[in-house]
Amino acid sequence: MTSAYTSSMSVLSTLGKIIPPPEYLRLPSVGVDISDTSLKYVQFQPDTKSGMNLELSYWGDIDIADGVLNRGTVSDVKQLSEAIREVRERTGLETLRVSLPEERAYLFETEIKKGTPFKEIRGLLEFRLEENVPLSPRDAFFDYDILDDEASSDVLRVSVTAYAQETIMNYYEACVSAGMTPLSFEVEAQAIARATIPAGDQGTHLIVDFGKTRTGIGIVSHGILMYTSTIDIGGGDLSTALRRQLGEVEESALTKIKNTQGLIRGIEGADVYEALLPTMSAILDEVRTRVQYWNMRETSREDRQVQSVILCGGSVNMKGLPEYFSEMLGVSSVRANVWQNAFPISKTVPEIGRRYSYGYSTAVGLALTPFA
């Protein structure tokens, strides 16, 4: 988030530190994706040889202890700060861009009259905030995007994202305590979109971020995040289902089973398929409900119907997963290419292997911000 509202002068002073002036926006920085269990970071620099693409400078994964975060809420600022400080020590950088949890985001669309002076837009949106989210404007930080919509000559459609002030301040304090300055905060799904959707793409895509403890859902249209939701089922639940079928098996072995047999129905892996299917069906039902809701809401706009599914996240390597989503949703589904807006993988081999790259999609998107 790069802007916010509050009526408190003391908070405005603090906010000036959170949201730096425009000349700071392209400073070298590291993209930091913070989840309940780990912190992933990525940093790019211009490729001096090609003069066109980027090259990967730093990347890594740092474990976060249990209880430091809970569903995106920071419970222990000090311990989170220690993890962020390790990023500084590994990269030598003092500026970063941070992901914010989808679970804590509020998104809504509204309309304003065309021709409204730019300086008045924020004030208009302040009045509509309480109508659409369970937060008082004085307790919220929000940002907005004006949608490119030529269908109407009278109004502009605006997408608004809001967070509780406390949520952002906890992340901010952890960064500052680590000796780092956050240049921006951003919803995970928007960062993922910057990495996984080709630059300039004007289509509507469903992003499924399949993590260990939860599955994030985002709908992006014309490059802007329009909808986000979280399903409290992830790759860990699939491991639990397999253990019920196969007995106590180490996680590494279960990961191999999921990635080599997964959702492929066959004689050899029939027990695996049957064990995974109930959990996958539960995830699919939740995804399908959200897609149907969105498509029904946008029946008058063909360009806003979901056109494809982009799969990413650390648990997305399961064999047969794209085919399963394609068949059950009736929409083309693919695993993400997280590097497509950084460099062509046909010419550049990144240090992060393809199977691991899916889990870095948010960090990659954050790291791409200065170059977008």
pLDDT tens readout for residues 126-169: 999 989 999 988 999 999 998 866 566 788 889 999 999 999 99
Helix (H) or strand (E) holding 246: helix 235-246
Q: How many domains does the chain have?
A: 2
Tell whether 321 and 348 lie within a shared domain.
no
Tell whether 293 and 241 lie within a shared domain.
yes
Tell whether 224 and 286 lie within a shared domain.
yes
User: What is the model's pLDDT at position 264?
Assistant: 87
Give, as one character, the DSSP assignment of residue 369.
G
Query: What CA–CA distance (Å, rounded) separates 334 from 205?
Result: 11
Tell whether 289 and 322 lie within a shared domain.
yes
Query: What CA–CA distance (Å, rounded) separates 124 from 129?
Result: 9
Is 113 part of a structural domain of the chain?
no
pLDDT tens, position by position, 219-269: 999 999 999 999 999 999 999 999 998 889 899 999 999 999 999 887 566
Q: State the pTM of this model.
A: 0.90
Q: Could you tell me which residues come within 8 angstroms of residue 193 by beta carbon, excluding any fewer than 6 positions away?
A: 205, 207, 218, 220, 223, 225, 365
pLDDT tens, position by position, 16-45: 344 444 555 567 799 999 999 999 999 999
Tell whether 218 and 257 lie within a shared domain.
yes
CATH of the domain at 10: 3.30.420.40
Residue 148 burial (CB < 10 Å; 0-12/13-18/19+)?
A: exposed
Residue in this structure with the two tokens 């790259």, named with its chain if needed: 357
User: What is the model's pLDDT at position 372?
Assistant: 81
Is 44 part of a structural domain of the chain?
yes
With H, G, I as helix, E, B as strand and everything else as coil, classify residue 208: strand
User: What is the model's pLDDT at position 13?
Assistant: 32
Is residue 368's pLDDT more than 50? yes
**β-sheet bridge partners, residue 209:** 216, 312
Q: How far is CA 161 from the centre of its chain?
A: 13
Is 90 part of a structural domain of the chain?
yes
Q: What is the CA radius of gyration of the chain?
A: 21
**Is pLDDT larger for residue 297 or for residue 356?**
356
Give, as one character, the DSSP assignment of residue 340.
T
DSSP 357-368: HGGGHHHHHHHT
Q: Please give the structure tokens belonging to residue 14.
A: 């603090």
Tell whether 213 and 317 lie within a shared domain.
yes
Query: What CA–CA distance (Å, rounded) separates 102 from 303?
Result: 25
Tell whether 219 and 86 lie within a shared domain.
no
Tell whether 345 and 331 lie within a shared domain.
no
Say which amino acid occupies 143.
D
Is residue 317's pLDDT more than 80? yes
Is 219 part of a structural domain of the chain?
yes
Is 346 part of a structural domain of the chain?
yes
User: What is the model's pLDDT at position 160?
Assistant: 95
Tell whether 313 and 358 lie within a shared domain.
no
Tell whether 92 and 237 lie within a shared domain.
no
Tell whether 255 and 317 lie within a shared domain.
yes
Q: What is the overall mean pLDDT for the chain?
A: 89
DSSP 86-136: HHHHHH---EEEEEE-GGG-EEEEEEEETT--HHHHHHHHHHHHHHHSSS-
User: What is the model's pLDDT at position 49?
Assistant: 74
- Owning domain of residue 255: 201-336
With H, G, I as helix, E, B as strand and everything else as coil, classify residue 345: coil
Angle among Cα 227, 233, 238 to the nearest 5 degrees reads 140
Tell whether 274 and 191 lie within a shared domain.
no
Is 128 part of a structural domain of the chain?
no
Is 236 part of a structural domain of the chain?
yes
Overall size of the chain counted in residues = 372
Is 363 part of a structural domain of the chain?
yes
